[in-house]
Amino acid sequence: MVAFNPGIRWDRVVIVDATAADASRQSAPKPGRSLHRFANPGRFLRLSGAVLPWLAAAGMVLTAIGLIWGLWFAPADWQQGDAVRIMYVHVPAAWLASAGYFALALCSVLSLVWRHPLADLAAVEIGPVGAGFTALCLLTGSIWGKPMWGAWWVWDARLTSVLVLFFLYLGHIALVRAFDDPVRGYRAGAILALVGVVNLPIIKFSVDWWNTLHQPATISFTGAPTMYVGMLWPLLFAAVGYTLVFAAIVVARTRAAVMERRIRALLMARADEAAA
């Protein structure tokens, strides 16, 4: 019998007889409220298939509203002029660079502690998307820096820590693909992701700990924003929109990875049958 057991890895098709199936049932985590109920590939594909179109549509609409509002209807800044409009791309990209890495670290914990099989796949798929948004953050920051600071790049604590984040993403992408046995790649990638998570508070507080050229935070969870509300709303729309787009891309890539794994498993099972 070919079984996709949520308590074990999907990397190999497991051929089990009735006794082995009973044994694996005993060792597998209990179904129900456990996170492992989402480890069933069929259930994940059904749920994500229902959510993905709404996620993608909402993300694209909100991003479009935020960007158009920011480009044409939001006021220019009295000091920066229209260069402030770059912030409607740069700030969401910066937020997603850090949030994406946090999600990567969360998946790594789920993978290392609970051996959640979907977490491995999600971590592999988050890496390139997070690297892409970090590159977008660095590029748009550089484009803003040239007219405002007179330089494309300065070795400022905030900029340098985000560059380190970009290299951490690249390291993770390379590491998870560097082993013949994918499980070893997932383990090594998860450890790297957890070590690299120390960089997130450094990025956040770099503008407070060091005397940086980069300005301190203008929006915080604890205090009122220090920016004009006519600029805040398009920024929030763009941030929420880009976040939903990021989530939609990761879900789509994870769905593709689950299906590709199932294809490999079916082909291997078919080859085994042909050989027998």
Contact residues for other proteins, defined by CB under 8 A: 56, 63, 67, 71, 76, 81-83, 85-86, 88-90, 93, 128-129, 132-133, 135-136, 139-140, 143-144, 146-147, 242, 245-246, 248-249, 252-253, 255-256, 259-260, 262-263, 266-267, 270
Decide whether 187 or 243 has the Cβ nearer to other proteins: 243
Decide whether 39 or 126 has the Cβ nearer to other proteins: 126
Token duo for residue 19: 């006794």
Minimum distance, C-beta of residue 223 to other proteins, in the bound complex (Å): 28
Distance between CA 161 and CA 183 in Å, rounded? Answer: 30
Decide whether 139 or 183 has the Cβ nearer to other proteins: 139
Token duo for residue 167: 């290299």
What's the start-to-end Cα distance of the chain, in Å?
A: 14
Minimum distance, C-beta of residue 51 to other proteins, in the bound complex (Å): 13
Decide whether 71 or 178 has the Cβ nearer to other proteins: 71
Distance between CA 60 and CA 52 in Å, rounded? Answer: 12
What is the CB neighbour count within 10 angstroms for residue 245?
21
Which residue in 153, 124, 149, 87 sits closest to 10, CA to CA?
124
- By CB atoms closer than 10 A (0-12, 13-18, 19+), residue 215 is exposed
Minimum distance, C-beta of residue 232 to other proteins, in the bound complex (Å): 18
Strands (E) across 2-155 are located at 2-3, 14-15
Decide whether 187 or 261 has the Cβ nearer to other proteins: 261
Minimum distance, C-beta of residue 194 to other proteins, in the bound complex (Å): 25
Residue 23's contacts (CB-CB under 8 Å, 6 or more residues apart) are: none
Minimum distance, C-beta of residue 11 to other proteins, in the bound complex (Å): 17
Token duo for residue 126: 């988050």
Token duo for residue 269: 């099972």
Dihedral, 5, 118, 12, 191 alpha carbons, nearest 10: -120
Distance between CA 146 and CA 167 in Å, rounded? Answer: 23
Minimum distance, C-beta of residue 262 to other proteins, in the bound complex (Å): 6
Decide whether 186 or 246 has the Cβ nearer to other proteins: 246
Decide whether 200 or 245 has the Cβ nearer to other proteins: 245
Minimum distance, C-beta of residue 273 to other proteins, in the bound complex (Å): 12
